[in-house]
Amino acid sequence: MKTKMVILLLCCRLFCAGQDKSHLPNLTFQLNLNPVPITEISGADTSFRNALSVAPAIDFRSKSGLGILYSPSFVTSGSKAGIYLHTVTAGYEKYGGKNFDLALNYNHYFFTHSTSVPYSPISNELYLYFAYSKTWLRPTIAFSYGFGRDSSESAVNDLALAGGLSHIFKWTDKGPFPDMELTPSVLMNLGTNKYFSFLNVSKYISHSHNFTKVVKKGGKNSQARTDSSSPFSVNNIEFNLEGSLEMGRFTARPTGSIFLPVGSDTDNAVYGYWQLTLQYRL
């Protein structure tokens, strides 16, 4: 872990050194709260329940949108609490543009395998988000391609896609927060869902203790499904609501989603997840 931290600090140092002083990168501190499944073993029975995940983060980002982020994630309860994941993100993000919002990131997940959070072989992610801003209803698309190696060192991959419509409602100088936004969206989620993972597009898997009903191919410490082909298919319709409350350098972003499963390969159960992100910009 010390080697990983040294590499991260060197990357940040080189990133900052390459900028003109008038264009030094923005520094943002974050705190992300959300549920994460943990394993509970009682005799020969294995079950899963949700626990609180707390993930502080530090984000260096240039005026152009290029940046790097580091975040350790802690699970706060269960038989083995502690750090279960370190995430390093590098890429480009630009929101609030006149024509579109765009994010293109590479995420690497360093799993500690020392907590009760289930095993995932997906340790890398290519993530794309795009929203067209010039229409009242914004066409939105998000794409995640995950890859890695399982416990037998075999190459594995997973694919997730979401597309739909969203709209941003904005208010200024209302109440204690001078700037407020509310963004409802309706999305169709598609994917292969082979593994439990932390891909950004498939949060209905990594944020729910019911993930074994969604995952089609089990890995270490997860329950396998009989369908090993895992074709790319429609998974669910997502109703998402994201808020943004800004006051000076402080921003709170609560998010909630409900997932209605569709298609033949579902258990017809409704899933949901929530997330709260707190940010402070220097």
For residue 55, what is the domain's CATH number? 2.40.160.40
Q: How far apart are CA 183 and CA 245, in angstroms?
A: 12
Spatial neighbors of 43 by CB under 8 A, at least 6 apart, are none
Residue 106: Cβ within 10 Å count: 12
φ and ψ at 88, to 5 degrees?
Answer: -120, 125
Spatial neighbors of 203 by CB under 8 A, at least 6 apart, are 257, 273, 275
The model's pTM is: 0.85
Tokens describing residue 119: 């095993």
* pLDDT for residue 199: 96
- For the chain, first and last CA: distance in Å? 27
Integer-rounded Cα Rg, in Å, for the chain is 19
* pLDDT for residue 255: 96
Q: Which domain holds residue 50?
A: 2-281
* pLDDT for residue 11: 52
* pLDDT for residue 210: 86
* pLDDT for residue 266: 57
Q: What percent of the chain stands above pLDDT 90?
A: 63
Side chain identity, residue 241 = L
Which of 22-36, 213-227, 230-244, 260-274 bottoms out in mean pLDDT, i.e. has the lowest? 213-227
* pLDDT for residue 221: 44
Average pLDDT of the residues in 143-160: 94
* Structural domain total, the chain: 1
CA distances from 235 to 190, 200, 259, 261 (A): 5, 15, 9, 6
